Structure 1
Amino acid sequence: MALGYLALVLHAHLPFVRHPERQDYVLEEEWLYEAITETYIPLLQKLSKLKQDGVEFKLTMSLTPPLIAMLKDEYLQDEYDEYLAKLRELTQKEIERYSDQDHLHYLADYYDREFASIAQTWEEYDRDLVAAFKQFQDSNNLEIITCGATHGFLPLMQMYPEAVYAQIQVACEDYAQHFNVAPRGIWLPECGYYGGLEKTIAQAGLRYFMIDAHGITNARPQPKWGTYTPIFTETGVAVFGRDNESSQQVWSADVGYPGDGNYREFYRDLGWDADYEYIKPYIMPNGERKNVGIKYHKITSRQASSNEKQHYDPYWATEKAAEHAGNFLYNRSLQVKHLAQVMHRKPIVVSPYDAELYGHWWYEGPQFLDFLFRKTWFDQDTVAMTHIADYLKENDTQQLAKPAASSWGYLGFNQYWLNETNNWIYPHLHDITEKMITLAGRDAEDELEKRALNQAARELLLAQSSDWAFIMRTGTMVPYAIKRTKTHLLRFNRLYEEILANKIDAGWLTKVETIDNIFPELDYRVYKKHEKGKG
């Protein structure tokens, strides 16, 4: 019998990026296509094979509402078809180009077979990856949880309880529409928590959420077992803390597995290496180079310059992924054995990560997970894999405590989303939030006004996405993040003025509804001031 539990939690999220209105090329749409190719389909392939081989894996995974909306969107599905077809065309040219260079020919052929497999899986699931993940929830191998409606950073909107409630309630309603059940857990956007948030979470019918370790270790009273058991809040909602030890082995830029020299180098790509005229049809239409997703080099060493990177070998990278999975499990076994002796109860080690780390940033990540699930199932009996919902069923008595304000961002609080690079957005967000709360008290006079009110709510939600503030802070794709923020602010304010003036431009409204088509069932009255305990 196992001495303790390991709960892997993957947070699958991308901001809502969809531009059918633009005739020109939109680089940011490729965030989704890259994630489908490198993370979501490879994960599904591994989960399917595990199930086929009788491995009863357990995994918790968030699918955020913006990601679900994009994965279900026919326009984006069609665009992905074109993206993948072009990638496969390029690999065919690469095979021919390197016909006389054994290792590069081998790598080009490797990519050709991989992309063919991706295309086959894409078609087998009829282009519906949400339904593909759902099948594993239906078999109780996967626990799919929700997130904020548009990944809004909740601590910075706590002065407007209606806005926090809308972010959570809209997400729960959207989840139920896609999975035919209510969600049991929520990944707080950026793991951002403030005191009292659990009341809104409980009001939405959710059972648990996760925060960073210091949100648990600084709780009051201080939890006896730290992050190795959840705490219960006065609302009955359970709170799980991230385990720093297991996280560091994967996340750390200094000692984490993804930095091993045998793994594929992310930052060296054919789109930048190839002769310009040769690669021109596969980069941006304006002629600017970009990553194309074919990478021939390995990390080699942390000290190696880009020109010193050696050629990648998938065989040895796979061997290293197996080795690292074994090391990870070995360390979790030691950790659980020690904790079980001290605690005299079964500890739970919660290891949350961005899903896109596995495959997109760390190419071998899905292989690592596959080996880890298999080794856990076949090679030991110290650690049992669990997902959070199953753990709570078996462990329904925990210490009562109040979590501490926290996030998993830089320095552990709110700095990454509120600083000199992005603080200009918040007066505008507060202004339109107050306006939306006022609009929510209106009774729409006709269907046109109702549509405008609903669209105003969508524009507010989209403007609140934490991704835009995050991007402004990172310094990459900043013009796009600024443009998106300003676009949603302007659209909201135009709708607000037209609603008050009773002069709604039906043609323009239809155009905006077509572009920002997230949450088709949204009811603007979700922002209406509600009595305590009632929606």
Structure 2
Amino acid sequence: MQKILSIVIKASQEFIRHSDEDLKDNAPVLNSFYESISNVYIPLLRMIEKLEADKIKYRFALVLPPVLCNMLSDPELQEDYITWLEKRNTLGKAEIRRNKADEKLCAIINDTIESNKSLLADFTNKYNKNLIPVFAEYMTRGYIELMGTCGTDIFMPHYADLKEIISAQIESGLHAYRQYFGVMPEGFWLPAMGYTPGIEKLIRAYGYTYTILDSRSILFAETVPDAGIFYPSRTDNSLVIFARNRVIDSELFGENGIIFAECYRNQNRDIGYELPMEKLTSLIDKDQIRYSTGYKYWNRCFKDSGCLYNKECAEVQVEKDAAAFVEKRCQTLDKAAELLPSYNYVSEICTLDISKLSKTWNECISWLEKVIRKASDAGLSVLSCDRMCDEQYNLEKIEPYFSAGIGTGYGENLLSSKNCWMMRYIRKSCERMIDLAGRFPMDTGLKTRLLNLGAKELMLAQSLNLAKMINRSEFPQFAEKRFKESIAAFTAVFDSLGSNTVSTEWLTKLEAKDSIFPWMNYRIFTKKR
């Protein structure tokens, strides 16, 4: 019996306005985006290159949302990333001078500077400043499956009664995927794995073969499938359902989770939060809020304030943790195979929010590479879910239960006391957008531009990332401002269409600022018959 480990890597990114006047205000959030390029996207490409060179057989799924693809493809941000790396190295040289008496500390600083130089060389020379075509190339070679998703990270259960909104999000995401990668995806990634009964009909209607749900959707179904979460099932309309094993989250982030080993780099201790502002001016303006600089000198040992980070020690720990992780996967799949002897394979779905993981665990990509290598050595097949859909129409039918992959399993953190005020504005805007699409079905010129802008602003406001940021107090001012700007812009569009007046200067300026989805067609919000 084949034993399959299926790894699904989800990247995330909120849209950030980056015209000249907004660069300064958004610097902390842009810093987070550039760190993701340095710590996640380029390391992922390097990992694939190494595995290919060593002829390791594997295939994992990757979710690159349209907003992220838009930003990675933006020439202005590409150039700004290069400047950002150079500024970091300028700060590093100042750190060398400040710590010249400490040989060990200087070694860590030099290592960070050399890493930035290597990133700069790869980004400009090897990848031609655009990572999207490189991911597309590895997709065509069969190493990764790129899953489709919504235009923005909308939490679908909040809009279950507004099918036009969900359809518009799925359609815009599909169009973006074709624009960036040129093919039709088989798998659909539900943002935050937010599922409510009925959504499967809309997903299937756009040609998707499968999706992934939280394990409780399957285990709490009225009829639990015989194979549980270790074999796919299907909905009534034959959308294949895979269940992620949520136990893996506990292994990574739990009280004794892998990421908290003492020798790993402490991601929270950064000179950007510790040094006087006058020593950081080469990177952070004096009147800005503090953010990370990448110069992190300490490990996770809190017993002694002098615990410097040791890269070699961390790599040894990564090796141990990867081996232990793969061993647990083998034990789980061996037990599943024993209990399900009549099946031709058993699988375990491991979903990783790589953006979240990299912020808390510097060594996560190195760990992932070793997991893939060790899984192959242990006899596990590392495959994406699209390779397990051959029996699509013969799978057991179920009616999945409502669930989500965030909060305690139901997405309740998206409607907390901190962010629940957002919902009344977004719901009213959704109703208005559906109405506008019906009232202006064939308009052209300025009205079309207005309606397309309104559609984009609505989709940006629907992003669950904004509610998450406010709830966990991660750049909450940015999230609130971003949301209110989109709602205000949509309301202005609605009022302009009602009064039949529009400021072309205002329209042109906002179109330039919110340059996402240049192909947007507001008619995707039209009521479906």
TM-score relative to the length of structure 2: 0.95
C-alpha distance in structure 1 between counterparts of 2:489 and 2:92, whole Å:
42
Letter in 2 for 1:61: L
Q: Report what 1:24 is aligned to.
A: 24
- The answer as to whether partners of 2:405 and 2:411 remain within 8 angstroms in 1 is no
Helix, strand or coil at the partner of 2:8: strand
C-alpha distance in structure 1 between counterparts of 2:263 and 2:272, whole Å:
22
Q: Report what 2:199 is aligned to.
A: 197
- The answer as to whether partners of 1:248 and 1:256 remain within 8 angstroms in 2 is yes
- Aligned pairs for 1:230-245 (under 5 A) are 230-245=232-247
Helix, strand or coil at the partner of 1:359: helix
How far did 1:32 drift? Answer: 0.9
Deviations 1:442-480 (A, max 9, x none): 134432111111111101101111011112211232222
Letter in 1 for 2:209: R
How far did 1:125 drift? Answer: 0.6
- The answer as to whether partners of 2:234 and 2:392 remain within 8 angstroms in 1 is no
Q: Report what 1:165 is aligned to.
A: 167
How far did 1:502 drift? Answer: 2.0
How far did 1:358 drift? Answer: 4.4
Q: Report what 2:493 is aligned to.
A: 495
Q: Report what 1:416 is aligned to.
A: 413
- The answer as to whether partners of 1:62 and 1:186 remain within 8 angstroms in 2 is no
How far did 1:287 drift? Answer: 5.5
Q: Report what 2:7 is aligned to.
A: 8
Q: Report what 1:387 is aligned to.
A: 384
Deviations 1:148-188 (A, max 9, x none): 21101110011211001111111011101111101211211
* 1:400 matches 2:397: yes
Helix, strand or coil at the partner of 1:291: coil
Q: Report what 1:129 is aligned to.
A: 131
- Aligned pairs for 1:312-331 (under 5 A) are 312-331=309-328
C-alpha distance in structure 2 between counterparts of 1:334 and 1:167, whole Å:
40
Q: Report what 1:140 is aligned to.
A: 142
Letter in 1 for 2:243: G
Q: Report what 2:230 is aligned to.
A: 228
C-alpha distance in structure 1 between counterparts of 2:175 and 2:406, whole Å:
28
Letter in 2 for 1:79: D
Deviations 1:225-251 (A, max 9, x none): 221112101111111111133332223
C-alpha distance in structure 1 between counterparts of 2:250 and 2:395, whole Å:
26
C-alpha distance in structure 1 between counterparts of 2:384 and 2:10, whole Å:
13
- Aligned pairs for 1:520-531 (under 5 A) are 520-531=518-529
TM-score relative to the length of structure 1: 0.94
C-alpha distance in structure 1 between counterparts of 2:63 and 2:306, whole Å:
35
C-alpha distance in structure 1 between counterparts of 2:202 and 2:147, whole Å:
16
Q: Report what 2:189 is aligned to.
A: 187
- The answer as to whether partners of 1:42 and 1:118 remain within 8 angstroms in 2 is no
- After superposition, the Cα gap between the structure-2 partners of 1:95 and 1:53, relative to the gap in structure 1 and judged at 3 Å, is farther
Instruction: Specify every segment of 5 or more residues in structure 2 that has no aligned partner in the other structure, as ranges.
Output: none
- After superposition, the Cα gap between the structure-2 partners of 1:204 and 1:480, relative to the gap in structure 1 and judged at 3 Å, is same
- After superposition, the Cα gap between the structure-2 partners of 1:499 and 1:482, relative to the gap in structure 1 and judged at 3 Å, is same
Letter in 1 for 2:312: Y
Q: Report what 1:107 is aligned to.
A: 108
C-alpha distance in structure 2 between counterparts of 1:257 and 1:500, whole Å:
56
Alignment partner for residue 435 of structure 2, among 415, 435, 438? Answer: 438
Deviations 1:23-51 (A, max 9, x none): 63422222211111111111111111111
How many percent of aligned residue pairs carry the same amino acid?
A: 27
Q: What RMSD over aligned residues (CA atoms) do the two structures have, in Å?
A: 1.7
Q: Report what 2:517 is aligned to.
A: 519
C-alpha distance in structure 2 between counterparts of 1:204 and 1:275, whole Å:
54
How far did 1:394 drift? Answer: 6.8
- The answer as to whether partners of 1:57 and 1:385 remain within 8 angstroms in 2 is yes
- Aligned pairs for 1:38-77 (under 5 A) are 38-77=39-78
- The answer as to whether partners of 2:63 and 2:148 remain within 8 angstroms in 1 is yes
How far did 1:289 drift? Answer: 3.1
- The answer as to whether partners of 2:58 and 2:381 remain within 8 angstroms in 1 is no
Deviations 1:262-310 (A, max 9, x none): 1000110021233543223322341643211110000015xx4xx7261
Letter in 2 for 1:483: K
Letter in 2 for 1:24: K
- After superposition, the Cα gap between the structure-2 partners of 1:356 and 1:257, relative to the gap in structure 1 and judged at 3 Å, is same
Aligned length: 523
Which has the higher mean CA deviation after the structures are superposed, 57-66 or 387-396?
387-396
Letter in 1 for 2:436: L
